[in-house]
């Protein structure tokens, strides 16, 4: 027996479903809460980001942290925890779960007005919440294997001029309306177009179109996803020319292949767009290659940050 081997790690059974941080404390995720008077609840006034952990390491944590910082600045949110402390909290909650694959969220919340003061944003005390839970996929592994069915919603995307989509937020009512449409038509998920009929994004994911040797994704009406960024950087390795720009509904419907990207699921092939069946109702070859390359890229040292222990 190896006497130098470290003792087996014991995970607190209370943390089996996940760990949260709130108000300076660590707790089982089911115990975390915010006040019903919090503007984060009553007005969806918050900014958030999600990073995933794969095989014990965060994927592109530095890029996620930079995007979260930018989102907070755009929404004028400043919780007392600084970025270095927030990063330490993300490591801590993930370590406490004992999970090697996890979905890790960071949220800056507006808070509630201080007692006796007018209900103004300036009178609110911002606060920070985070949680780490078992892995989540936007589309289930079974749906990814056969290719997702994507419904083009009639509901238009909220315009950029009304709500900056590059600041990650919980204002999802346009997405929810689109999801209800998709559900009514028996589809897995939805993508929204803007008022001019140009493709934007779906609930929690970006959309990519393969046509010939060009890989296109929308440059407006979208969150600039980290998986999206990774795919654009990886595209030349597969002989694809990445393009960020307008995509019409017709171009989406007539694509050689379509796939969606998200921190929660990675690269997820699409086999149906509305009534059109693609690639014999299965994932296309380039989508499969990109999916494989994306997961292989998790081993690149520059893109991984091992979870630190206590």
Per-residue pLDDT of the chain (310 residues; tens, 9 = 90+): 344 544 556 788 899 899 999 999 999 999 999 999 999 999 999 999 999 999 999 999 999 999 999 999 999 999 999 999 999 999 999 999 999 999 999 999 999 998 889 999 999 999 999 999 999 999 999 999 999 999 999 999 999 999 999 999 999 999 999 999 999 999 999 999 999 999 999 999 999 999 999 999 999 999 999 999 999 999 999 999 999 999 999 999 999 999 999 999 999 999 999 989 999 999 999 999 999 999 999 999 999 999 998 5
302, exposed or middle or buried, with CB in 10 Å at 0-12, 13-18, 19+?
exposed
Between β-strands 189-191 and 206-211, what pairing exists: parallel, antiparallel or unpaired?
Answer: unpaired
| pLDDT, tens only, 228-284 | 999 999 999 999 999 999 999 999 999 999 999 999 999 999 999 998 999 999 999
d(CA 185, CA 242): 32
For residues 66 and 88, is the Cβ–Cβ distance under 8 A? no
| pLDDT, tens only, 19-52 | 999 999 999 999 999 999 999 999 999 999 999 9
Give the pLDDT confidence score for residue 8 in this predicted structure. 58
pTM value is: 0.94
Which among 10, 217, 40, 33 has a CA at the least distance from the CA of 112?
Answer: 40
In the CATH scheme, what architecture does the domain 141-299 have?
A: Alpha-Beta Barrel (3.20)
Q: Where are the domains of the chain?
A: 13-136, 141-299
E strands along the chain, which residues?
Answer: 19-22, 25-28, 46-54, 57-59, 102-109, 127-134, 148-152, 189-191, 206-211, 214-217, 241-244, 257-262, 266-273, 276-277, 304-306
Which among 131, 134, 109, 113 has a CA at the least distance from the CA of 122?
Answer: 113
Give the pLDDT confidence score for residue 310 in this predicted structure. 59
Neighbours of 120 (CB within 10 A): 8
Give the pLDDT confidence score for residue 1 in this predicted structure. 38
Give the pLDDT confidence score for residue 136 in this predicted structure. 93
d(CA 203, CA 197): 17
For residues 225 and 294, is the Cβ–Cβ distance under 8 A? no
Tokens of 246: 């307008």
Which among 165, 139, 169, 278 has a CA at the least distance from the CA of 218?
Answer: 165
Between β-strands 214-217 and 241-244, what pairing exists: parallel, antiparallel or unpaired?
Answer: parallel
Inter-residue long-range contacts of 235-241, CB under 8 Å, 24+ positions, other chains counted: 235/290, 237/293, 238/286, 238/289, 238/290, 238/293, 239/213, 240/210, 240/213, 240/214, 240/215, 240/286, 241/213, 241/214, 241/215
Bridge partners (DSSP) of residue 190 are: 151
What CATH code is assigned to 13-136? Answer: 3.30.470.10
Give the pLDDT confidence score for residue 74 in this predicted structure. 97
* Dihedral angle over CA of 299, 142, 199, 286, nearest 10: 50
């Amino acid at each position: 027996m190896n006497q130098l081997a470290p003792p087996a790690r014991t995970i607190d059974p209370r943390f089996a479903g996940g760990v949260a941080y709130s108000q300076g404390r660590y707790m089982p995720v089911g115990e975390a809460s915010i006040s019903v008077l919090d503007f984060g609840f009553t007005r969806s006034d918050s900014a958030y980001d999600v990073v995933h952990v794969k095989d014990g390491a965060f994927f592109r944590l530095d890029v996620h942290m930079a995007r979260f910082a930018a989102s907070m600045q755009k929404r004028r949110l400043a919780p007392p925890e600084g970025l270095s402390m927030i990063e330490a909290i993300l490591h801590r909650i993930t370590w406490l779960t004992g999970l090697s694959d996890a979905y890790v969220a960071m949220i800056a919340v507006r808070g509630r007005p201080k007692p006796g003061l007018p209900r103004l944003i300036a009178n609110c005390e911002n606060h920070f919440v985070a949680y780490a839970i078992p892995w989540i996929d936007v589309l289930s592994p079974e749906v990814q294997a056969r290719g997702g069915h994507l419904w083009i919603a009639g509901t238009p995307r909220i315009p950029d001029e009304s709500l900056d989509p590059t600041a990650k937020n919980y204002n999802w009512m346009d997405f929810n309306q689109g999801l209800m449409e998709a559900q009514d038509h028996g589809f897995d998920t939805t993508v929204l177009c803007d008022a001019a009929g140009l493709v934007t994004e779906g609930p929690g994911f970006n959309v990519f179109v393969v046509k010939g040797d060009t890989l296109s994704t929308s440059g407006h009406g979208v969150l600039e996803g980290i998986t999206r960024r990774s795919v654009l950087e990886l595209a030349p390795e597969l002989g694809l020319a990445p393009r960020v720009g307008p995509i019409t509904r017709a171009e989406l419907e007539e694509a050689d292949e379509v796939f969606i990207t998200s921190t929660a699921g990675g690269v997820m092939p699409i086999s149906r767009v509305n009534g059109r069946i693609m690639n014999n109702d299965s994932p296309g070859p380039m989508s499969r290659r990109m999916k494989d390359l994306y997961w292989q890229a998790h081993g690149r040292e520059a893109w991984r940050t091992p979870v630190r222990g206590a």
